[in-house]
Structure formats: structure tokens, C-alpha cells
Structure 1
Amino acid sequence: MKIAIVGGGAIGLLFSFYLNQHHEVVLYVRNIQQRDRIQAKGIHLTNHQGSFSTKVEVRLASEWGKGGEDLSIICVKQYHLQSLLENKKIEAHHPLLFLQNGMGHLEYIDRLNLRFVLVGAVEHGAYRTDDDSVVHKGEGQTRIAFYKGADQEFLDTLIKPFHQSFPFQKEDDFKEMLQKKLVVNAIINPLTALLKVQNGALIENPHFFQTFRELFVEIKGILRLEKEELYYQNVVEVCRNTSQNRSSMLKDVEEGRPTEIDAILGYLIKQANEKNMQAPLINALFHLIKGNELEKGGK
């Protein structure tokens, strides 16, 4: 299978490295410097087993849509989706897999005349150390579900070769899958970013844990979660299993990059407003993160 991977961040590099073992990968990146570096040196990945390299074809993101790939995996952050997709003439039948955090990206997908769309929730821990290098720190899995259209044979062709090396888990309910990831992101990301702590501190420090629980109560009310204990235990388990990890939002704040707070808490605020519900803690965290971005020269 020929696969386009759009986005040269940590997730784009991670997926390019592993999927290139069994498929033909074309990585699309935003700038010439990254393209030239990967062309010259390949992609370097470090995990608990050591350091490895692979050569992949790499092009500029402006060229995406012209390569005739069988599938495009969209790995850019949600705030880059509009600039990536606007004015693109994507063929309606071309399969796309979206790997954004939150659930706000579903609105972008609905604006496109697409017939075959998958969405995923990435549970791996990874961070980029250079234009061509990624550290695979937390080995998990990628949950994947159909959003529009369905072709089980196509999906099996994509994921079956990676049963052990880079596992995928097919899910029947895309909404529940994305909501579980949203709840995790909505609690762990803003709290760790503001408190500047590793994930595990949120459940180890009783004062942080109190806010953790209060935030979950607001979120479950807005989303009207029916399996609230399942969602709650999932967040606790993620904190425990990634206790030494620094969240992606914490890294964004530390490095002065825009965060995905609009895609995560912004989505929940919109849902609360539509339901005439109050969300004081979510609103406070949202504006603290946005204020932090503004202080560092963001928007």
C-alpha cells in the first residue's frame, strides 16, 4: 500500500518510520529544511530497544494530493488543518485517516465532500528531537474507527502487518473512541501544562488530584457520559502508565509553541454553551493556557 503521511511532527515521523517497514510511505512536510534533512539522512527513531533509521520519500506539503497514494494519514495538529485542507481538491473517494487530538476536527471533516474517512486515537508517547529524529518513549497502540464509509479489507491491509511492532486496534464506535481520548487530553494536558509536572503527579499529589477529580465531573456532565466510571478509570490508568511522561501540551508551553487547547477544552466549552451548562473550571483552565500563549507571543 502506498501511504501519504502529512505532517513532520513527532506523530508524523513515528508513523512514517513504522509504516515504512511494510508499506511505501511518502512523508509530506511543511518546510524545505526538514525535507532536505530527511532526504539526506532518513528518519531516526529511538526506543527502548535502541536507535534505528529508515529512508523514506519526502516531499513538501504543498505537493500533497498529487502523488496517487492509496491512503493519506493526516498528522498535523488541529490548528493547521484549515490551512492544509482549504483550496485542496481532495477526491471524494480518496481514503483519509485523521489523527488529531480532541473532537473539533470532525467539523472540518464534515465540510469536505468525502466518502471514506477514518479517525484514530494515538496512545503512543513520542517527541521529536530534530527535524529527522523522534523518540518513541511510550509504546501503546493506535485505535482506529470508520467515520464515513467502511471497507474492512482495506483496513486489514493497512494494519495487519503491525500486530506486534506497532499495533492498531479496530473500534466499532468512533464517538466513544474519540471521547475517551478527549477526556484524557482535557484533564492531563492543561493541568500538566499549567503545573509544569509529569503526568503521574496529577494522581500522586492529593491537591492536584482534587482538581483532577473536579475537572472530570465537569467533563462528564458536558459529554453526558453513560459509562463514567470506565472513562474515569481510563484517565487514572493513563496517568499511572505514563507517570514519567511530559504531556504534549506541557512541551508546547515550554517551547513557546501554540497548544491544542482550542481543539480540546475549546470543544468542551462550545458543547457546554450549546447545552446551556456552566463549566467554570474548564473555562478557567482554557483562559490560563490562552493567556500563557499570549504572553509568549502567540495568538
Structure 2
Amino acid sequence: MKIGIIGAGAIGLLFSYYLSEKNQITIYTRSKRQAELIQSKGICLMDGETTNIVRVEAVPFELWTGSEDLTIITVKQYHLPTILPVLTNQINDWGSLLFLQNGMGHLKWLSELKAPRIYLGSVEHGAARLNEHTVSHNGYGLTKVAVYRGSEDHLRSLVGATQARFPISLEDDYQAILLTKLIVNCIINPLTATFQVTNGTLVSNPYYYLIVTSLFEEIVNILNIHNREEHFANVLSVCQKTTANQSSMLKDIAAGRETEIDAILGYVLEEANRKQMQAPLTHNYYNLIKGKEFKEEDFR
């Protein structure tokens, strides 16, 4: 299958590496420089003590024409508004789009897209981009995908062409898989970024654990989640499985980058406002992260 991957961050590089074994991959980068670097050096994957390189086609995003069978969008949610107009204008009648963003804020934009097939997914792998063509695979997990619009034929082809070390599961309900990932992100990302700790510390430190439980209860109340014990057990499991990992939000804050807090806690606050519910903890941690992002020069 011909697959285009928009975005050459950690997840874009990771998917390009693993999917290249059985698919024809083209990765679309933000800059011409990065495309040329990947084109000449390939994508390098570091997994523990092992390093491997694969060759893929790499071109700048402005050259994307929607000619692939499936295009996977791996950019962060706050970058979507700049590429959605291009996706709307260029997609063909047989193509399909798979969105792999954190949070659920992007759902409000999808109805405007003309693509005949739109898919949504969540990624459980841990990955970090070490440079413009190198990604470190820090933790294994499962990628769950589901249909938002149209037929599932391209998703079935994707699932059938993956390898054991990079499994992809076709699910029935996109809302369920996004909610599960959203709840995990709502707890781990803002708390680790605020306290500047690894994921496992949220469980091992009894004082942080109390905050985890309080924030979890507020969020599941707002989202009207019924199977709370299952979701809480999942949050704890992710913390334990990725105990030494730093969350993406913690890394973004440390590097002075914009975070995905609007896509994560921002979505929960929108739901709270819509339902006229109080969300004091969610407001506090949302503002804490926005405060860490704050740059005075942006307001001069």
C-alpha cells in the first residue's frame, strides 16, 4: 500500500520506520532541509542497544498531493489548522486520512473535510526524536484505529501489513479509544510537566498519587465516564509501564516548545463549560502549564 506520513516528529519517524517494511512510504516534512536529510541518510531507529536504518522517500509537505492510498497525519493538534485546508483541497476520491493526535479537540474540524474516508487512532508507544532523522523507541505499545467516516478497507490493509513489534488493532468505536487515551494524557502530561518528574513518580510518590486520584475523579465526572475503575487502572498501568519515561509535555516545557494542553485539558474545560460544571483542578493545571509556556515577548 502507498502511505504518506505528514509530520516528521517522533511519531512520524516511528511510523515511517516500521510501516516501510511492507508499504511504500513517503514522509512529508515541514522543512526542505529535513526532507533532504532523511532522503540522504534514511530514518534511524534506536531501540536499546540496537540501531537500524531504513530508506524512505522524503519531501516537503507543500509537495503533498493526496495521491497515496492512505495519509497518516502525525503533527501535533495545534498544527492541524495550518494543514487542514491543504488536506481538504488535495484529497482524491480513493484516498483516506488517519489522524493520530492527542486529545479530542480536533474532532470539531473533521466534519469540514471532504475526504471519503477518515480514520482516527491513538498511539501507546513511547518515542523521542533525537535529531531530524533519528527516533528512539522507548516503550512498546499498541496503536488502535477506528473509522470516523467511510469504509474501513484501507484500515484493514494497514492492520494486515504491520509487524509483530509494531501492532495495529482495528477497533469499533473511535470515541472509546480517544477517550481512553485522553484520560491518560489528562493525568500524566500536566502533572509530570508541573512537578517535573517521570511518569512512574506519580504512582510511587504518595502525595502525588493523591493528586492523581483527585484530578482523575474530576475529569471522569465531567466526561461522564461510567467504567471508572477500568480507566483508573489503565492510568496506573501506563505510569508503571513507562515508569522511567518523561512525558511529551514535560519534554516540550523543558525545550521551551508549545504544549498540547489546549487539546487535552482544554477539551475537558470546554466540556465542563458546556455542561455548566465546576472544574477547579482542571483549571489550575491548565493555567499552570499555560504559565510555563508564557513568554512576555509574545504579548508586547
- Offset at residue 113 of structure 1 (A): 2.4
**SS, match of residue 281 in structure 1:** helix
State the distance in 2 between where 1:285 and 1:60 align. Answer: 36
Kept in 1: contact 2:69–2:154 (CA 8 A): no
AA paired with 1:236?
L
State the distance in 2 between where 1:54 and 1:122 align. Answer: 21
- Offset at residue 159 of structure 1 (A): 1.6
- Offset at residue 111 of structure 1 (A): 1.9
* Cα 1:108/1:52, change in 2 over 3 Å: same
State the Cα deviation string for residues 48-88 of structure 1 (Å, max 9, x = none). 3600001110010111125x111000000000000011254
2:71 alignment counterpart: 72
Gaps of 5+ in 1: none
**SS, match of residue 100 in structure 1:** coil
2:32 alignment counterpart: 32
State the Cα deviation string for residues 182-234 of structure 1 (Å, max 9, x = none). 00000000000011000000011011011100000111101100111111110
State the Cα deviation string for residues 110-138 of structure 1 (Å, max 9, x = none). 22123311111000000000000000010
Gaps of 5+ in 2: none
1:137 alignment counterpart: 138
Report the count of equivalent residues.
297
Kept in 1: contact 2:18–2:163 (CA 8 A): no
State the distance in 1 between where 2:133 and 2:297 align. Answer: 27
* Cα 1:272/1:34, change in 2 over 3 Å: same
1:81 alignment counterpart: 80
State the distance in 2 between where 1:83 and 1:226 align. Answer: 36
1:126 alignment counterpart: 127
State the distance in 1 between where 2:225 and 2:51 align. Answer: 42
TM-score w.r.t. length of structure 2 = 0.96
**SS, match of residue 86 in structure 1:** helix
Kept in 2: contact 1:198–1:244 (CA 8 A): yes
State the distance in 2 between where 1:298 and 1:231 align. Answer: 38
1:188 alignment counterpart: 188
State the distance in 2 between where 1:297 and 1:171 align. Answer: 45
2:148 alignment counterpart: 147
State the distance in 1 between where 2:297 and 2:240 align. Answer: 34
AA paired with 1:123?
E
AA paired with 1:6?
I
**SS, match of residue 26 in structure 2:** strand
AA paired with 1:234?
N
2:156 alignment counterpart: 156
State the distance in 2 between where 1:243 and 1:98 align. Answer: 27
State the distance in 1 between where 2:253 and 2:195 align. Answer: 11
Kept in 2: contact 1:92–1:116 (CA 8 A): no
**SS, match of residue 162 in structure 1:** coil
**SS, match of residue 111 in structure 2:** helix
- Offset at residue 298 of structure 1 (A): 6.3
AA paired with 1:71?
L
Kept in 2: contact 1:73–1:97 (CA 8 A): yes
- Offset at residue 296 of structure 1 (A): 7.7
TM-score w.r.t. length of structure 1 = 0.96
- Offset at residue 163 of structure 1 (A): 4.2
Kept in 2: contact 1:256–1:296 (CA 8 A): no
2:170 alignment counterpart: 170
2:223 alignment counterpart: 223
Q: Does 1:262 align with 2:262?
A: yes
